[in-house]
Amino acid sequence: MKWLARDVDDAFSGIEKNPKVMGGAACLRQTRIPVWLLEQARRQGVSEVDLLRNYPGLTAQDLVNGWEYVGSHKEEIENKIRENEAED
């Protein structure tokens, strides 16, 4: 039921979207750290331990929340990663 509720209202614990923060990208709670950025780092081989070291305000639960969001919003995350790569 918990997953169904998330799918229905698109609410994810610890994930926030605000049009005034990072262009409305899904970010980890009370940060300006977009989920797509963490997923891109993970794909490039950055470990969770290194992510937590590089972003000391994050917790392991933040990463769990981010990975759940990635799993449920694959197209959105792919698009954000592509947009970022096109800007480089």
Q: Count the Cβ atoms, other than its own, within 10 Å of residue 9.
A: 8
Provide the pLDDT confidence category of residue 8 given band limits of 50, 70 and 90.
very low
- What pLDDT is attached to residue 81? 95
Residue 34 near residue 70 (C-beta atoms within 8 A):
no
Using only C-alpha atoms, what is the Rg of the chain? 13
27-76 pLDDT, tens digit each: 999 999 999 999 999 999 999 999 999 999 999 999 999 999 999 999 99
- What pLDDT is attached to residue 31? 93
CATH code assigned at 22:
1.10.10.10
The type of residue at 26 is A
- What pLDDT is attached to residue 9? 45
* Domain coverage including residue 27: 2-87
Residue 66 near residue 35 (C-beta atoms within 8 A):
yes
Structural domain total, the chain: 1
